[in-house]
Amino acid sequence: MKDWRYWLAEQRGTLLAFGIFVVMFTIYLVNHPAIENNGFTVNTVANVVQTASNKAVLLAFVAMAQTLVVITAGIDLSVGMIFILTNCLASWIVVGSPWQTALGVVGVLAAGLACGAVNGLIVIYGRLQPIVTTIATGAIYFGIALALRPFPGGDVNGDLADMLTGKIFGVVPASLVTLFAVVLIVWVPFKRSTVGRAAYAVGSSEAAAYMSGVPIRRARFAAYTLAGLLAAMGGLFLTFFTYTGEAAYASGNTYTLFSIAAVVLGGVSLFGGTGSAVGAVFGALAFRTIGDLLFVFDFDPLWQPLFQGVVLMLAVSLGAFGLFRVRNRLDWFA
Amino acid sequence: MNGAEPLFRMEGVSKRYGGVRALEKADLTVHAGRVHAILGENGAGKSTLIKIISGVVAPDEGRMTLDGREVTFPSPAAANRAGIVCIFQELSLIPDLSVADNIVISNAPTRFGMIDRRAQQRLAEDALARAGASDIHPKALVKDLPLSRRQMVEIAKALARNPRILILDEATSALTAADVTRVFEVLKRLRSEGLALLYISHRMHEIAELADECTVFRNGQKVDTYVAGSKTDNEVIEMMIGREYSHVFPPKPAAIASDKPPILETRHLSWTDRLKDISFNVRTGEVVGLGGLDGQGQRELLLALFGVLRGCSGEVLIDGTPVSIQSPATARSEQIGMALIPEDRKTEGLMLPMTVRDNLSFAALDRVSKNGIVDRAAEDRQIDEMIRLLAIRTAGTDIPVGALSGGNQQKVVIAKWLMRGPRIILLNDPTRGIDVGTKQEIYQLLRKLADAGAAIVFYSTDYDELIGCCDRVLVLYDGLVRRELVGEGITEHALVASALNIDDGAAAEPAAADA
């Protein structure tokens, strides 16, 4: 086999997610009322893309967070709550002069890191199951969020918010650029570092990783902590869009569950060891587009959960088509 | 055994697991530039010894010195840093990572804090070449490689760490004869470069070829250390098992002519490009061996018969009637009565955390239950009978099967299928990595079952077994039955020659390669 074929095999999940997203987004664009009315002008398309991307990056950040943990064969059910907690925190501290605002942003991100670190430490040193640990810590994080914002409210630095939710040169949505930058600054170095490789190793076979002298604890800790950071990025952006903080329980849970759906859609195996956050980002974008498709087809919003569920089912089934080609039934279980 | 200062020394090292003494006051001296073979049955303490040296478990007492300085290894990583690298019997590769990723897993080359993938590729190619496995692509995923290739990757990975002491624990058990030859060349070169090698193997002729000195363990204690070649094989085996060693293989009965249709027959059986037009038959009372190099379709043939593979063409006949076997559930049904002892007992044979009882009755649950309720009394009776029949050494039926030694685990896998009273028994390399004593018991058992009317298809990577156990041997090559050997015609020479797809006249080379 040639080198590129190995590359292709490795990227299959990501490319599939990308493909699903492109198809869905094209359908969305073509049927969008604004474009049907105005045609494909740069301005109209840019506006539609901006709105869509602003909504989708939230889930994309949370899905990236989920990916890191899922790669180690764990699962983080607290990402949605970290997302809510950091939103509430940001609505207090990302305000005031540029310096104060910058400090506030740092504070919000540090809070996310801290939440992730707590998850990691409990999973590693408490030796508890990730699923139970993060249900518990998630509830705690939500409790803190509620203490910070018993009622919706607060504010955020408007200049910063408008800048990051606007368009660069009037064309490219800034939120998308930020997402891209975060992938470049957080994910790529992680994936290429020894710690990142160790995270994959732990997820694929922890016993073999231990036998090979792989730093298992450091890998887990890095995955959970960075997951906290990425969820906080999501929380920050939520604040930029809404200008408020709200301890919304349902929203936190929804983001947690959607992040898992996005991760699977993005070709990341829940068994750990394979997949990429880039795939999960496309998974998240595709998942959001599924929801928006209803809007352009003028369906009753009441149908949205049902429709979203069906499309998700179909999309995930695409990834399972490979099973039809399996000639050795034992490979079903591999 | 005198001369240079020893590189590594172990004195009075003991280890207990619960009440069981795994190792009792063991001593071992390892010199640079020598191959030291460790012999002993499974459960003799070899694995524990290796685990202590390589930092997987901590000893209860005793001391270890490296270069005359006392050392302790709290983890495998610490042992690696000290230059002690172990190739484990249970593979330590990460299935979802590529070959190159695995080779550099513990010390990947980095630039600006990130892994330098070009340097990694170079290192991996280098290590593969040193191990004599340049045919493996560094970008291939480990999970896509067959067992024998994985084992070569494991060896390359160890070499990439530049060890001072290299421990090989049954590292050749999954290799093909050609690979073994190449690995031996590598090991001999390493020895001449001044490495110390600790070599654990059940294959006597490998030890005879490679070892400079040998230490025999039995029941957790060292029996003796001697210069290689100073004892006969029989003396060594007696030291290992502590009793007279005779008649490894039970006598074969004279061939019986029969006009009954064979109990199992295949006609033109094919599957993808791995099985090509395979026609053979097995009669009641026969042991038919499958030989050849590893990965020539033997495993696939057994899986195809057992209904695991989809899209097989050709015919399978039971008692002369064509049947369609589409799942293991069909294969084991009363009408067909087939059993498959799988290759990997840990994943396909046993549920390791579950009890010996549960594991034994899994395949026969329908036979010991009424209306879906398990009849515990009937189950107990059958289980007791099986434990007696196979002499399974277990503290009870309610302990996890994972707590048994490898040989006894394998007996549980076999017993679990015997509980169904199968008529056709397929075995996929059942003696891999188990001790001499258990092997001998399995050989006896196979013959006993055949005599009692079972038909046995037996794949083995060990030529001695095929010669000793089988009435007929089919040698597979690239998915084809290359040759069928019968009775006296089953010789090492013929097996090797046909395994390498060489005509008999030109067989001098492979015979040398196997020596």
What number is the ipTM of this complex?
Answer: 0.78
Nearest to B355 by CA among B401, B394, B410, B296: B401
Contact B143 A274 (CB under 8 A): no
* Structural domain boundaries enclosing A63: 58-278
Which chain A residues are closer than 8 Å to B311 by Cβ?
A: 327
pTM beyond 0.90, yes or no: no
Give me A90's structure tokens.
């940001």
- Of B250 and A81, more confident: A81
For chain A, the C-alpha Rg in angstroms (whole number) is 20
What sections of B193-273 are H helices per DSSP?
204-210, 233-241
Instruction: State how far the Cα of A232 lies from the Cα of A111, in Å rounded to an integer.
Output: 8
Instruction: Say if A243 falls within a structural domain.
Output: yes
Mutate to test the interface with B, among A70, A327, A332, A333 (most CBs of B within 10 A): A327
Instruction: State how far the Cα of A56 lies from the Cα of A186, in Å rounded to an integer.
Output: 19
Cα–Cα distances (Å) from B5 to B67, B213, B287, in that order, read 8, 16, 52
What is residue A6's predicted lDDT score, i.e. its pLDDT? Answer: 83
Nearest to A217 by CA among A89, A322, A129, A120: A120
A332 touches chain B (CB under 8 A): no
Q: How many CB pairs below 8 A link A and B?
A: 100
What is residue B18's predicted lDDT score, i.e. its pLDDT? Answer: 62
Residue A110 burial (CB count, 10 A): 15
Instruction: State how far the Cα of B321 lies from the Cα of B315, in Å rounded to an integer.
Output: 10
Give me B459's structure tokens.
């794949």
The domain tally of chain A equals 1
Instruction: Say if A95 falls within a structural domain.
Output: yes
Cα–Cα distances (Å) from A71 to A61, A130, A169, A312, B421, in that order, read 16, 13, 37, 21, 44
Cβ B470 vs Cβ B490: under 8 Å: yes
What confidence tens digit (pLDDT) does each residue in A248-261 have? Answer: 999 999 999 999 99
Nearest to B75 by CA among B101, B49, B57: B57
pLDDT less than 70: residues of chain B = 1-4, 18-20, 41-43, 89-91, 202, 241-247, 256-258, 500, 502-515
Contact A329 B309 (CB under 8 A): yes
Q: How confident is the model at residue A334 (pLDDT cuts 50, 70, 90)?
A: low
What confidence tens digit (pLDDT) does each residue in A122-134 have? Answer: 999 999 999 999 9
CATH superfamily of B8-241: P-loop containing nucleotide triphosphate hydrolases (3.40.50.300)
C-alpha dihedral sign at B459, B464, B470, B474:
positive
Instruction: Say if A38 falls within a structural domain.
Output: no
What is residue A180's predicted lDDT score, i.e. its pLDDT? Answer: 95
> DSSP letters of A256-288?
HHHHHHHHHHTT--TTSS---HHHHHHHHHHHH
A270 touches chain B (CB under 8 A): no
CATH 3.30.70.20 fits B247-252+259-337+422-515, yes or no: no
Which chain A residues are closer than 8 Å to B77 by Cβ?
A: 213-215
Instruction: Say if A283 falls within a structural domain.
Output: no
Q: Which residue in A3, A192, A327 is closest to B114 by CB distance?
A: A192
Cβ A14 vs Cβ A191: under 8 Å: no
Q: Which residue in A200, A207, A328 is closest to B97 by CB distance?
A: A200
Contact A211 B56 (CB under 8 A): yes
Mutate to test the interface with B, among A185, A187, A197 (most CBs of B within 10 A): A197
Q: What is the DSSP letter of A271?
A: T
Is it true that B8-241 and B247-252+259-337+422-515 share their CATH fold? Answer: yes
Instruction: Say if A15 falls within a structural domain.
Output: no
Instruction: Say if A188 falls within a structural domain.
Output: yes
Nearest to A84 by CA among A205, A239, A292, A287: A239
Q: Token pair 């196997």 is at which residue?
A: B514
- Helix (H) or strand (E) holding A311, with range, is helix A304-320
Cβ A244 vs Cβ A158: under 8 Å: no
Q: Which residue in B98, B113, B137 is closest to A193 by CB distance?
A: B113
The answer for B373, left when phi > 0, alpha when psi is -120 to 50, beta otherwise, is beta
Give me B148's structure tokens.
């024998």
Instruction: Say if A317 falls within a structural domain.
Output: no
Q: State how far residue B46 is from chain A, nearest Cα, in angstroms.
A: 17
Q: Where are the domains of chain B?
A: 8-241, 247-252+259-337+422-515, 347-420
What is residue B16's predicted lDDT score, i.e. its pLDDT? Answer: 82
Instruction: Say if A26 falls within a structural domain.
Output: no
